[in-house]
Every structure is written in structure tokens, then in C-alpha cells.
Amino acid sequence: MAAGWDPAQYLTFGDHRLRPALELLQRIPLQAPAQVVDLGCGAGNVTAHLRRRWPQAAITGVDTSRQMLDAAAKVEPSVTWVEADLATWTPPVPPDVLYANAALHWVTEQAPLFRRLVGLLAPGGVLAVQMPRNFEQPSHQLIYQAVAAGPWQARLQDVLRPVPVEGPAFYYDLLATLCAQIDLWETRYVQVLRGENPVAEFTKGSWLKPLLDALEEPQRSAFEAEYRRLVQEAYPPRADGTTLFPFNRMFIVAVK
């Protein structure tokens, strides 16, 4: 994750973000790994669950955001917290588990990244990955529309990223020659959100944030207002005031 992340904003919808993380954790087929790494650990709320599952393991949390790591250290002081780029960081000991929940999609070059991570594992080690696959949905596509709608376009054009996550077949073909076993699946969560314009608040804590950070006032607020207007139309509240937010995620559990 990029530096400058706001743990409070990211965890606004913590329950919805935690569910896929726990489902990924449950599918890791190792009972007593010695070395476990949480790549892109963020504020450490998921790392704490790794600690509970494997109380005897040496656990390391890696993230680029000092704000997130400071929050994480308060959650689980027994973990070794490392500020580093997850795309280039090398563990001192080959890990038995490399766990990356909602983190690897921030790295543009997916093929060399996955090859590198498998190469870091101890023999029989597990690479466990969850990545959002919601980039073709209105929540994310409307970001491009909002960028094109105002004078901030020139500033944000270089900040916009292409869709970062490939389809499942890409990752299977990539890992098939490197791994002895691959478990690959997708889940669509229909998230029931509450609050005013909650989908805009959800993306504000993740994919929208780098664009907001690239702007200064008054353009920052104007751009956010335009995006919020578009998202409110795409995800109107139900009669009871809740908002349904379908969200697709892809899971990979690969044994070296």
C-alpha cells in the first residue's frame, strides 16, 4: 500500500473487508508453519487473525505505510512490523506462508511479482492471495468518468491506473509450472452498506485515495463531489435506507 493511508477511513467498512480475508485464511492447508508473512498488512486487523491461527509461528507484517504500521503495532505487538515495498522486500528466512489480502493489485507488473513471491517460499510453502476484481463495475469505472468531467483531468490523467488484475486463467497458467497445487476461485459479495453514499466512502478508503491525494483544494473537493454524485446515482439507497454494493473478489491458494 502507498504511504499516507488513513487507517480509520480504510477500516470504516472493516467487517466487509475482513470477511474475504478470513475466508482466504481458512483455505490455507498448513497446520503449523514456522514463518508467516502478511504482505500489505495494513492496520494489522487481519494479521491478528494469523496470530490466533498460528500462535507459535514467527509472523512478519510488511507494508509501505508508516501510519498503517503504527496502528498495527498497537493491535498485535508480538508481530514483527516492517516498512517496505511488498514488490521488492525479501524475507531473511524463506516463509512457509506468504499471505496477501487485498494488496497485490497495487503492483502493476503481476507476472514477475507472482513468480518472485513463489520463488521466496520455502519448499511446500503456500502463497495465499485475495484481490478485488470489481474494476469493471460502476464503483470503479465512474472514477474515470469523474476524472474526465472537470479541470482536474490534466492533473489526474497520469495518476489513473489501468485495470490491474487479470482473469483467473492468467494466474493459473502463470502458477501451473511453479506450484504443485492451485486452488483458485471467485466470490461476489453483495455487501449491505449503511450511511450516506456508502459506496463512495468505501472506495475513498482504497482505490479513489491516490487521486484525491494528487489534488489540492478546491479541486480536491470538487472532484470528490462529482464522483460522489455519479456513485449515488449508480447505487441508490433501498427503501430501508441501506445500499447494496456487489463486490467481486478473486482468491488464489498455491502450494510450491
Identify the pLDDT of residue 14: 54
**The domain over range 7-255 is classified in CATH as 3.40.50.150:** yes
Segment 75-94 shows an average pLDDT of: 94
Supply the pLDDT for residue 198. Answer: 96
Q: What global pTM score does this model have?
A: 0.90
Q: Is the pLDDT of residue 200 over 80?
A: yes
Query: What single-letter amino acid sits at 62?
Result: V
State residue 1's pLDDT score: 40
Asked whether the predicted pLDDT for residue 138 surpasses 50, the reply is: yes
Looking at residue 59, its pLDDT comes to 98
The pLDDT score that the predictor gives to residue 9 is 45
Q: Give the residues across from 71 on adjacent strands.
A: none
pLDDT band at 205, cuts 50/70/90?
A: confident
- pLDDT of 195 over the 90 cut: yes
What is the per-residue pLDDT for 3? 40
Domain definitions of the chain by residue range: 7-255
For residues 138-158, one letter each, b for 16 or more C-beta atoms within 10 angstroms of the residue's C-beta and e for the rest, the string is bbbebbeebbebeebeeebee
φ, ψ for residue 25, nearest 5 deg: -60, -40
Average pLDDT, the chain: 93
Residue 2 banded pLDDT, cuts 50, 70, 90: very low
Q: What are phi and psi of 196, to 5 degrees?
A: -85, 120
Lateral strand order in the sheet of 181-193? 80-83, 58-63, 35-39, 97-101, 126-132, 243-255, 181-193
Average pLDDT over residues 65-82: 92
Confidence band of 11 (pLDDT split at 50, 70, 90): very low
